Amino acid sequence: MTLVEAVILTVITAATPLLIAAIGELVVERSGVLNLGVEGMMAVGAACAFAGAVTLDSTFGGFVAGAAAGMALSLVFALAVLGVAANQVASGLALTILGLGLAGVIGAPFVGARRDPIMQLQVPGLTDIPLIGRALFGQDPIVYLSFALVLAVFWFLFRTRRGLTLRAIGEDHASAHALGLPVIRMRLLAILFGGACAGLAGAYLSLVYTRFWSPGMTGGRGWIALALVVFAAWRPGRALAGAYLFGLASVLQLHAQAGAIRLPSQLLSALPYLVTIVALVILAARDRRATGAPASLGIPFVPDR
């Protein structure tokens, strides 16, 4: 039971940054914009969060700095794809390269520093329940925030007028513009929200998951978050399930290596990414419209003047 509880707790920690980044990107793609720069924004968020936490001696200040850094980098992307209608794929890849480079510069002075563990919820009588107590009632605030984000995004997209407007813009931006809907403004807000979520996910990596900063610590999680959006068919609830599925794959490969399974460690380390590829191949075999992809996804928008 102790091993099972340890696996559950580790899965929650591993899945949380994936879920936060994926939820942010889901909103961006629902607006019809494809931002491939999630990895770069997560890296900058991780570096700025750790630097902010050490400088201010405040973990909360670190999370704010990480989210702000991700949002600032997403604004650069927005200026390119919304301001001058640049190619979204190329702009996103450039953003990833820029973000990884900036993260290295920002985080260099803080290599070797460590932070104390973040405060965790303690509910007398509930946290001590065997197996599920710590998993449900003993997590850090960001874990509960990730669940709140899923509920908030679902409510926004499918229960509000603004959410309907966002989805309409993602389906057909030309018709939405002809009807007088604020295409550019809604997409800008969606991109900034996605950047803040990516930065917050990066902050979780450096302040909770590892409690230190090192170059390349995102380890491709931004790409997995992008794949999660497709895996979830652009639905928040499925993104939650997918994040924990990929988190489980990441944790199982660590336990497999610790258990001395006679397989190359490199193969076990590649397991989460193999799961991602298999999931995407299965989804690619399905009809594009059946997956729920916004019809205007990745298509530049140039308003009539």
pLDDT of 122 reads 82
Tally the domains of the chain. Answer: 1
CA atoms within 13 A on the CB side of 76: 18
272 domain residue, yes or no:
no
pLDDT of 257 reads 61
For 103, 108, 128, 197, 290, the CA distances from 20, given in Å and listed in that order, are 19, 25, 27, 6, 25
134 domain residue, yes or no:
yes
157 domain residue, yes or no:
yes
pTM for the structure as a whole:
0.92
Tokens standing for residue 278: 């298999």
- How far, in Å, CA of 105 to CA of 124, rounded? 44
pLDDT of 128 reads 78
Give the domain extent around 144. 16-116+124-219
Tens digit of each residue's pLDDT, the chain (305 residues): 577 888 888 899 999 999 999 999 999 999 999 999 999 999 999 999 999 999 999 999 999 999 999 999 999 999 999 999 999 999 999 999 999 999 999 999 998 889 988 888 888 877 878 878 888 888 999 999 999 999 999 999 999 999 999 999 999 999 999 999 999 999 999 999 999 999 999 999 999 999 999 988 998 899 999 989 988 889 999 999 989 988 888 777 776 666 656 666 667 667 667 776 776 676 666 545 456 689 999 999 988 75
Query: Of the candidates 177, 145, 244, 192, which has an alpha carbon nearest to the alpha carbon of residue 35?
Result: 192
208 domain residue, yes or no:
yes
233 domain residue, yes or no:
no
Which stretches of 31-118 are DSSP H helices? 38-56, 59-78, 88-107
32 burial (CB, 10 Å; 0-12 / 13-18 / 19+) is: buried
53 domain residue, yes or no:
yes
For residue 300, give the amino acid letter.
P
10 domain residue, yes or no:
no
48 domain residue, yes or no:
yes
